[in-house]
Amino acid sequence: MLTKLLLTGALVLGVNPPAAPVEVLAPGVEVWSVTLGQGTGHNSWTVTVAVPSSSQDPDAPPAALGTQDHAQALVQALSAKGFAARAEEVDWPAFADSPRGALGWRVRVGSFSSQAAAASTAAAMKAAGFTVTTEWTGQDGPQSQGPEHVKVAVVDPRRFTGQVVATHGPSATGRRTTSSLAAAAGALVGVNGGFFVIDPADGIPGEAAGLGVYDGQLQSEATDGRVELALGQRPSIGSLRTQVTVNGMTVNGVNRKPGIIRNCGEPGDQPTSKPLHDTTCANPNELVLFTPQLGTSTPAGDGVQAVLDAHGVVTALQPRGGDVPANGHVLQGIGTGAAWLSAHAQPGAKLRLDSRVVDQRGRTVQAQGVLNGGPWLVRDGRVSVDAVADGVSHPGDPSYLYGWAIKRNPRTMVGLDRSGRLIIVTVDGRQPGYSEGFSVLEGARMLAGLGAVQAMNLDGGGSTAMAVNGKLVTSPSDATGERPIGDALLILPH
């Protein structure tokens, strides 16, 4: 059955049919190694010139894409310096909620058979005062020619007697590689999970940048409006929200720095309360809950914190920073959040905490694990990507969508078919001659071709990794090798 689906997926992408050796890991768990295409179409290099930004900000730096007028002016400036440049239109992809027509224009010089040849021209252009990068066109050709090195894991709940779980390892923060998390748990298969914080300026490294539930415990709040993978008796893909309160007062976050919200998407966030991927928003008035699974000291800073014992009784009201009790919690407040704690969380007071994950109708969702992600890829059996609503299209910055969603990158994706089978796909990328990667739409078409009726994107790029029996079986794109990540999706034997 899957062989037919893989063939369909290849045809949908317009590449050669796959050679797909299968490894049966347990009844109901299979992993397929798929090679799509032969790599005959996009093995050239070019020099891309930074275009004046389309932003209204006069101080905005040059970008990959600009307006047509900006691009044509740059072509003329390059020609005056002896460089034969061309302006290329980049169209909006066929996303469900995107306009049609030109997204922006890029400017390029030359088509080279090697990176070294492109780099020589790039050096001359830099000396002439232009901002340039050498690029492999396999990441942005009009149609994929391959090769694409793809791994497909399929879990059939009608035959598999083990568990599908989300894990962050021993704590809700900190970073570990996918293969180490898989090996420690004895997983048959493991892939990287949702988006997470890398830079300490954006929060606590390793914290989920979106909804995270592990072992049935909420460890990170949702980015409202984004899609999640919920794991339990029957996996599901959909948009979930979190409702966390203390004595009826809204708690804004879980296990993150107060006032710093990675990927935005919460009421009161600045500059936007909508999801905005790879963006850090701010909120000067927050309450944040810390759980015993935090794995590090609570962050210091302005405001106050209340330390709660296992019964919700406040044992201390103090400056921010310190350990979370093994069986208790810590609440931190800044701005109006600090004022609320000072008024309601004096030592001896009993606070009532309530944490829930709910669907869009407000119904409580009982999930053992939840991984964040985005955007949607497939809905009700049809390719459907909402890039604007999901926040991967940045207003006034077409270059972000171009680099993140249109260009080919390593991807990790999950889907569910009509029989409830979980389909997990990774594709290596950014590796000339080995694997191009997928655009977001190519990934969506692949999942739809594999029979998914619902599918979503997980974290990708340098985070993309799959481990089989604890051993890495993908080729990471980071020069340093496999990237430590925040959480993972694991298939565990019974």
The answer to whether the beta carbons of residues 71 and 51 sit under 8 Å apart is: yes
Among 255, 260, 177, residue whose Cα is nearest residue 218: 255
**Mean pLDDT, residues 111-138:** 95
Q: Are 249 and 357 within one domain? A: yes
Residue 329 has pLDDT above 90, yes or no: yes
Question: What pLDDT is stored for residue 138 in this prediction?
Answer: 87
* pTM for the full predicted model: 0.94
Query: Across the beta sheet with 329-334, what order do the strands follow?
Result: 253-254, 286-290, 329-334, 304-308, 314-319
In whole angstroms, how large is the CA radius of gyration of the chain? 24
Cα–Cα dist 193/181, whole Å: 11
Cβ-based neighbours of 123, under 8 Å, separated by 6 or more: none
Report CA torsion sign: 311, 312, 313, 317.
positive
Question: What pLDDT is stored for residue 1 in this prediction?
Answer: 44
Q: Are 384 and 467 within one domain? A: yes
Residue 446 has pLDDT above 80, yes or no: yes
Task: Please check whether residue 193 lies inside any domain of the structure.
Answer: no
Class of residue 55 by CB neighbours under 10 A (exposed 0-12, middle 13-18, buried 19+) = middle
Task: Please check whether residue 70 lies inside any domain of the structure.
Answer: yes
Among 231, 160, 164, 157, residue whose Cα is nearest residue 421: 157
Cα–Cα dist 289/354, whole Å: 11
The answer to whether the beta carbons of residues 187 and 490 sit under 8 Å apart is: yes
**Mean pLDDT, residues 377-396:** 94
Question: Domain range spanning residue 327?
Answer: 241-364
As a dihedral over the C-alpha atoms of residue 251, residue 255, residue 259, residue 263, rounded to 10 degrees, the angle is: -100
As a dihedral over the C-alpha atoms of residue 318, residue 319, residue 320, residue 324, rounded to 10 degrees, the angle is: -30
Task: Please check whether residue 327 lies inside any domain of the structure.
Answer: yes
* C-alpha of 440 from chain center: 12
Residue 33 binned pLDDT confidence (cut-offs 50, 70, 90):
very high
Cis-peptide into 147, omega within 30 deg: yes
Task: Please check whether residue 88 lies inside any domain of the structure.
Answer: yes
Q: For residue 127, give both structure tokens.
A: 């000396």
Residue 20 has pLDDT above 70, yes or no: no
Task: Please check whether residue 421 lies inside any domain of the structure.
Answer: yes
Q: Are 150 and 117 within one domain? A: no
Q: Tokens 């900000």: give the residue.
A: 57
Q: Are 257 and 359 within one domain? A: yes
Model confidence pLDDT, tens digit, residues 187-244? 999 999 999 999 999 999 999 999 999 999 999 999 998 999 999 989 999 999 999 9
Question: What pLDDT is stored for residue 233 in this prediction?
Answer: 86
Task: Please check whether residue 190 lies inside any domain of the structure.
Answer: no
**Mean pLDDT, residues 162-188:** 97
Question: What pLDDT is stored for residue 17 in this prediction?
Answer: 47
Q: How many helices and strands in the chain, by DSSP H and E?
A: 8, 34
Question: What pLDDT is stored for residue 144 in this prediction?
Answer: 63
Cβ-based neighbours of 311, under 8 Å, separated by 6 or more: 350
Q: Are 359 and 376 within one domain? A: no
Cα–Cα dist 490/494, whole Å: 12
Residue 53 has pLDDT above 90, yes or no: no
For 171, the 3-state DSSP assignment is: coil
Q: Are 24 and 65 within one domain? A: no
Model confidence pLDDT, tens digit, residues 350-383? 999 999 999 989 999 999 999 999 999 999 999 9
Residue 305 has pLDDT above 80, yes or no: yes
Task: Please check whether residue 210 lies inside any domain of the structure.
Answer: no
Q: Are 317 and 426 within one domain? A: no
What is the percentage of the chain residues whose pLDDT exceeds 70? 92
Model confidence pLDDT, tens digit, residues 263-288? 999 889 999 999 999 999 999 999 99
Q: Are 247 and 153 within one domain? A: no
Q: Are 251 and 358 within one domain? A: yes
Q: Are 91 and 108 within one domain? A: yes
Looking at 317, 344, 364, the residue that finishes a domain is: 364
Looking at 322, 349, 364, the residue that finishes a domain is: 364
What is the percentage of the chain residues whose pLDDT exceeds 90? 84
**Strand residue runs (E) in 434-475:** 452-457, 466-468, 471-472
Report CA torsion sign: 389, 393, 394, 396.
negative
Residue 49 has pLDDT above 80, yes or no: yes
Looking at 309, 330, 364, the residue that finishes a domain is: 364
Euclidean distance between the first and final Cα of the chain, in Å?
25
**444-479: b or e for each residue (b if 16 or more CB lie within 10 Å)?**
bbbbbbbbbbbbbbbbbbbbbbbbbebebbbbbbee
Query: How many structural domains comprise the chain?
Result: 3
Residue 158 has pLDDT above 80, yes or no: yes
Q: Are 99 and 16 within one domain? A: no
The answer to whether the beta carbons of residues 26 and 164 sit under 8 Å apart is: no
As a dihedral over the C-alpha atoms of residue 22, residue 25, residue 30, residue 32, rounded to 10 degrees, the angle is: -40
Q: Tokens 């609320």: give the residue.
A: 340
Compute CA distances 138 → 82, 87, 356, whole Å. Answer: 27, 18, 44
Helix axes of 440-449 and 2-13: crossing angle, nearest 10 degrees = 150
DSSP per-residue string spanning 105-156: EEEEEEEESSHHHHHHHHHHHHHTT--EEEEEGGGT-SS----EEEEEEEE-
Q: Are 355 and 247 within one domain? A: yes
Residue 10 has pLDDT above 80, yes or no: no
Mean pLDDT, the chain, rounded, equals: 92
Least confident residue range of 71-80, 93-102, 104-113, 415-424: 93-102
Task: Please check whether residue 321 lies inside any domain of the structure.
Answer: yes
**Mean pLDDT, residues 484-490:** 98
